[in-house]
Amino acid sequence: MKKNILILVLITASNLLAQEVKFLGEAKPGGILIGRGENIISVQLNKINIQVDESGIFILGFDRDAEGAFQLIIKFKNKKVVSYDYNLEKREYEEQSLHIAGKYVNPPRKMLPKIMNEQKAMKAARADVGKLKSALFLSGFVYPMDSLDVRAVFGSQRILNGKKSNIHNGVDFHAVVGDSVHAISDGIVILAGNNFFYNGNFILLDHGLGLTSVYLHMSKLLVNNGQRVKKGELIGLAGGTGRATGPHLHLGVQWFNKRIDPMSLFEIKF
């Protein structure tokens, strides 16, 4: 009888402790989890430390190719510890064949210095990701365009002019040149790039705690580096600049270097 009572007490204590953390989102390849708790002193995912803001908010991102076991361990000021185990199944993706200008498959030698400089600029901008300790994304998420005509989904294997190319790490929305492009959440512009070889005119936003979004191929940018923007704010106009088969908006999302399906954000309701 005493043994049964002890088990009951342990189960009850475990349930009460679990209630101290609330989650939004889903642990899946390309998905995110947003957690909120009180008096959290540390969060680890597979023994890697995760940032927690002053209000007890943290976010986890699972890469496009994530699979297998993940363990989340949360420690509290009262020395309590709670763990959550996730087992992610491999996600299958489709292929997409496109025909584009040959220079975007095999760039001319004279363009290589430009491409390398642009890659350095992107790397430098992303080096600062994680320094913004506030969870600006708590403002919520909205679609970047009024039109929700999705022409290319996240994660597909690109076949360009018959040759296997990079993975499509974003979502493409059909657009007409000049259509409004909006910030999907509160953020800070960490790079407003003009006339990049692949990206065209684009904007990279930092939403805090490692979450970023990027908006490619625009015809015009309406914000500048370092500018704070609000969810739904007009940041640019759609176009077909850079490596684009026609006017559209490419929306990409990352959590640090993890490739996230942008559509998974729009399922989250705060």
Report the pLDDT value the prediction gives residue 270, as an integer from 0 to 100.
Answer: 83
Q: Are 269 and 76 within 8 A, CB to CB?
A: no
Grouping H, G, I as helix, E, B as strand and the rest as coil, residue 5 is helix
Report the pLDDT value the prediction gives residue 151, as an integer from 0 to 100.
Answer: 84
Report the pLDDT value the prediction gives residue 51, as an integer from 0 to 100.
Answer: 96
Cα radius of gyration rounded to whole Å, the chain: 21
* Residue entry with tokens 């007009």: 234
Contacts of 143 (CB under 8 A, 6+ apart): 173, 182, 184, 266
Report the pLDDT value the prediction gives residue 189, as an integer from 0 to 100.
Answer: 98
Tell me the HSE value of 135 on the side-chain side, using a 13 A CA sphere: 19
Sequence-ordered alpha helix ranges (H) in the chain: 2-18, 112-126, 262-265
Report the pLDDT value the prediction gives residue 43, as an integer from 0 to 100.
Answer: 97
Report the pLDDT value the prediction gives residue 167, as an integer from 0 to 100.
Answer: 78
Fold classification of 95-265 (topology level) = Glucose Permease (Domain IIA) (2.70.70)
Minimal CA–CA distance to 249: which of 170, 167, 169, 142? Answer: 170
Q: Which residues pair with 44 in a beta bridge?
A: 49, 73
Report the pLDDT value the prediction gives residue 229, as an integer from 0 to 100.
Answer: 98
Minimal CA–CA distance to 155: which of 141, 145, 166? Answer: 166
Report the pLDDT value the prediction gives residue 95, as an integer from 0 to 100.
Answer: 78
- What's the CATH architecture for 2-88? Sandwich (2.60)
Domain ranges of the chain: 2-88, 95-265
CA dist., res. 97 & res. 217, Å (int): 19
CA dist., res. 26 & res. 28, Å (int): 6
From first to last of the 270 residues of the chain, give the pLDDT tens digit: 434 433 333 333 444 444 489 999 999 999 999 999 999 999 999 999 999 999 999 999 999 999 999 999 999 999 999 999 999 999 988 877 767 777 777 889 999 999 999 999 999 999 999 999 999 999 999 999 998 889 888 878 877 777 777 778 999 999 999 999 999 999 999 999 999 999 999 999 999 999 999 999 999 999 999 999 999 999 999 999 998 888 999 999 999 999 999 999 999 988
Strand-strand pairing, 187-196 and 228-229: antiparallel
